[in-house]
Amino acid sequence: MLEITNLKKTYGQRQVLQGLTLHIEAGEIYGLLGPNGAGKTTTINILCNLLRSDSGVIRIGNQPVSEATKKIIGVAPQENLLYKTLSCAENLRFYAKIYGLSRKACEQRIGYCLEAVGLGDRRNAPIETLSGGMQRRMNIAVALVHQPKLLILDEPTTGLDIETRYEIWELIQRLRGEGMTILLTTHLLDEAQRLCQRIGILKGGQIIAEGTLAELRKMIPAREIVILQTVEKEAAIAQGKKAGFTYRSYGGDLAFWLPKQLELKEILEIFADIPIDSIARQGVQLEHIYVEITKNHGITEVPLKTV
């Protein structure tokens, strides 16, 4: 559905995209992750033909990026593009006309889009009367009005409460179930881990790691992570290193990478001389992989999938 090959873009002396290459299959949710300034927004603007790249090739639905491909892309930006005094139907009607839909097709799409995002009963409600979560769903409805083949969701749940996030996640999964191809950018790593079939980590304008969660997990030499709370942190670090564990600090938490899974009794024996307040065990999560790869992606057991 989407092929990006060796995409480059420079602003003055600053090279924002440095040979970005990625491929998104039809019907999948692809998560594009990266710190601020990594090039995500620039990439989206080039995909939407709002910005011209310096070099590289992009094909969307087997077509080169052009005015014509705008009609096969739907974009729901982080900031809602909604007219607050207009109703849901009026907003959709406005955007449908921009895309050149006939009056008959427009009315059909309004009904479909409102039902798709669970707002069929809010057809005539002004946007300003909707909750934040409803407005975010309407933002996605606008992106769907012209029947795009590729849907770009830029930070779709930023700033929402957890219940509303779940509603948006359910909507995204339902759209994928209907065959929609989705490019998702997010800073919420649990969101990417839950929704995306494949994930690309963007840094310095290029993909430094890409794959399924299972493939990305292989990039860290850990089968389990143990979190300790103790007043004797330095002693615990020394004991963990002696046992062959890699030490990391996650938000102040004392964490050890275990190269293989151990019984709890074995772990406690290793730290037998350390006063432990609490101990927790967890699998390797996307947040651990992301932090390690973006800060120091030379530690991997297997070569990173780079371009």
CA dist., res. 274 & res. 277, Å (int): 10
Assign domain 2-216 one CATH number from 3.40.50.170, 3.40.50.1110, 3.10.20.30, 3.40.50.300.
Answer: 3.40.50.300
Banded pLDDT at 134 (limits 50, 70, 90): very high
Give the pLDDT of residue 296: 67
Q: How far apart are CA 217 and CA 200, in angstroms?
A: 13
Q: What are the structural domain ranges in the chain?
A: 2-216, 221-283
Model confidence over 171-209: pLDDT tens digits?
999 999 999 999 999 999 999 999 999 999 999 899 999
Q: Name every residue whose Cβ is closer than 8 Å to that of residue 106 and which is 6 or more positions away in sequence.
A: 92, 93, 96, 97
- The continuous run of DSSP H or E covering 19 comes out as strand 14-24
pLDDT bin (cut points 50, 70, 90) of residue 304 is very low
Neighbours of 251 (CB within 10 A): 7
| Among 2, 30, 29, 35, CA closest to 16 | 35
Q: Do the domains 2-216 and 221-283 sit in the same CATH topology, yes or no?
A: no
Q: In the prediction, which pLDDT does 70 show?
A: 84
Evaluate the CA torsion angle 213, 214, 220, 224 in order and state its sign. Answer: positive
Q: Is 192 within 8 Å of 182 (Cβ atoms)?
A: no
Q: Is 270 helix (H, G, I), strand (E, B) or coil?
A: helix
Query: What distance in Å separates the CA atoms of residue 216 and residue 293, rounded to the nearest whole number?
Result: 10
Helix spans in 2-99 (H): 40-47, 88-98
What mean pLDDT do residues 226-238 have?
93
Mean pLDDT of the chain: 90
β-strands 14-24, 29-33 pairing: unpaired
The angle, 0 to 180 degrees and rounded to 10, between the axes of the packed helices 162-177 and 103-116 is 130
User: Using 50, 70 and 90 to split pLDDT, how confident is the model at 61?
Assistant: confident
Look up the CATH number of domain 221-283: 3.30.70.260
